[in-house]
């Protein structure tokens, strides 16, 4: 088969790779219906996160099960499945507390930008739909695999409740789906920080009431002005930079909550400043598996359409253009179709 490999900064290649096979008896092999490029893939693509060797890419996926290992009990060949970017047994004490992305057996998926994928710990990682979903729902089901689940975790970690005032820092796919998540959780007012017209439009479509274009101290002042000088009850930090984290902390009301899901790069916190800010700070790799059954049902029932974040669809063999489009902010998120349809 062929798959995506990153050789160095902005050097993405689609090349021959070994076809996955069952290695452990708990594995499953999936033929992918769709995969995509994640905003976090851009860190190594831009050279900000270094790689030591040519590295296969991709961690978002959905598709049809082709084969399962002899110890797999709940997942069957022929089923349509969605899985998390982090594998989990879904039975250990950490999983039982709802943090499957820190499972005692966790592995992070990294080869999903291909046509076929091996998924370890299939019973605990994958969620099957009862029937094969219609083609038009594939993008939204793919979104549950990471960006929607991550946006949902950000809102959950930020303690979004009915009636809350919520601020979303970041207008990438995760931030936009954080807006959608906050709306689903009953937020009364959602403020999205964005400077891009197309993303502002989608943020409003997903439930944002206000758009803030200012950054830094000006951004904080604008947020305070919109919240009677207090700050937001809940803030979703969906970027992972020093600027975005400071924006989040300074925009949260005393006693408020920050859910941070942007993979940190160069972020350091002043303990004294954090001490006097009086905010709750919680985040990390999203335990997507915790939310997958609920999110899949919301998609299948037609209650949400997170697939709208995919504004560019390409055949998988054009993956390099998908990376370029996101890097240059010509696309929010690139959907890749292994069968070449678009």
- Six token digits for residue 268: 């350091």
pLDDT tens track for 254-284: 999 999 999 999 999 999 999 999 999 999 9
Please, what sign has the CA dihedral across residues 11, 16, 21, 23?
negative
Specify the residue for token string 């504004």. 311
How far does Cα 241 stand from its chain's mean position? 16
- This prediction has a pTM of 0.97
Please state, in angstroms and rounded to a whole number, the distance separating the CA atoms of residues 160 and 129.
28
How far does Cα 108 stand from its chain's mean position? 13
Q: Write the DSSP assignment of 253-274 as a string of letters.
A: EEEEEEEE-SPPSS----HHHH
Is residue 342 scored above 90 in pLDDT?
A: no
- The pLDDT value recorded for residue 148 is 98
- Give the strand pairing for 11-16 and 80-83: unpaired
- The pLDDT value recorded for residue 140 is 98
**DSSP annotation of 114:** B
Percentage above 70 pLDDT, the chain: 99
Burial of 97 (0-12, 13-18, 19+ CB in 10 A): exposed
| Angle at the Cα of 191 from the Cα atoms of 189 and 195, rounded to 5 degrees | 155
Is residue 146 scored above 50 in pLDDT?
A: yes
- The pLDDT value recorded for residue 19 is 96
Partnered with residue 174 across adjacent β-strands are none
Please state, in angstroms and rounded to a whole number, the distance separating the CA atoms of residues 112 and 213.
35
Please state, in angstroms and rounded to a whole number, the distance separating the CA atoms of residues 69 and 260.
36
How far does Cα 93 stand from its chain's mean position? 24
CB atoms under 10 Å from CB of 255, counted, come to: 11
Confidence of residue 339 (pLDDT cuts 50, 70, 90): confident
Please state, in angstroms and rounded to a whole number, the distance separating the CA atoms of residues 59 and 281.
26
- The pLDDT value recorded for residue 341 is 42
**DSSP annotation of 19:** P
Please state, in angstroms and rounded to a whole number, the distance separating the CA atoms of residues 58 and 1.
15
Please state, in angstroms and rounded to a whole number, the distance separating the CA atoms of residues 296 and 145.
9
Please state, in angstroms and rounded to a whole number, the distance separating the CA atoms of residues 87 and 125.
5
């Amino acid at each position: 088969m062929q798959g995506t490999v990153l050789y160095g900064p902005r050097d993405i290649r689609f090349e021959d790779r070994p076809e996955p096979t069952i290695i452990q008896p708990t594995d499953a092999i999936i033929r992918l219906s769709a995969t995509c490029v994640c905003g976090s893939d851009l860190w190594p693509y831009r050279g900000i996160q270094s790689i030591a060797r040519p590295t296969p890419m991709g961690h978002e996926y959905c598709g049809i099960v082709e084969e399962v290992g002899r110890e797999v009990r709940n997942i069957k060949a022929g089923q349509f499945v969605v899985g998390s970017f982090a594998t989990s047994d879904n039975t250990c004490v950490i999983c039982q507390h709802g943090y499957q992305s820190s499972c005692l057996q966790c592995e992070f998926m990294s080869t999903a930008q291909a046509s076929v994928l091996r998924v370890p710990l299939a019973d605990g990682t994958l969620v099957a739909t009862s029937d094969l979903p219609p083609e038009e729902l594939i993008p939204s089901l793919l979104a549950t695999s990471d960006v929607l689940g991550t946006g949902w975790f950000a809102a959950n970690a930020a303690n979004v409740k009915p009636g809350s005032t919520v601020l979303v820092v970041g207008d990438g796919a995760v931030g936009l789906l954080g807006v959608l998540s906050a709306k689903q959780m009953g937020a009364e007012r959602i403020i999205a920080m964005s400077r891009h017209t197309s993303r502002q439009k989608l943020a409003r479509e997903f439930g944002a009431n206000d758009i803030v274009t200012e950054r830094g101290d000006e951004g904080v002042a604008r947020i305070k002005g919109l919240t009677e000088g207090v700050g937001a009850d809940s803030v979703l930090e969906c970027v992972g930079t020093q600027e975005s984290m400071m924006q989040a902390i300074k925009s949260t009301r005393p006693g408020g909550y920050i859910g941070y899901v942007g993979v940190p790069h160069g972020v350091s916190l002043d303990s004294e400043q954090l001490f006097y800010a009086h905010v709750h700070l919680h985040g990390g790799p999203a335990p997507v598996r915790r939310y997958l059954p609920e999110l899949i049902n919301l998609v299948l029932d037609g209650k949400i359409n997170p697939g709208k974040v995919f504004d560019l669809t390409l055949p998988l063999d054009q993956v390099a253009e998908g990376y370029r489009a996101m890097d240059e902010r010509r696309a929010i998120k690139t959907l890749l179709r292994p069968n070449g349809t678009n």
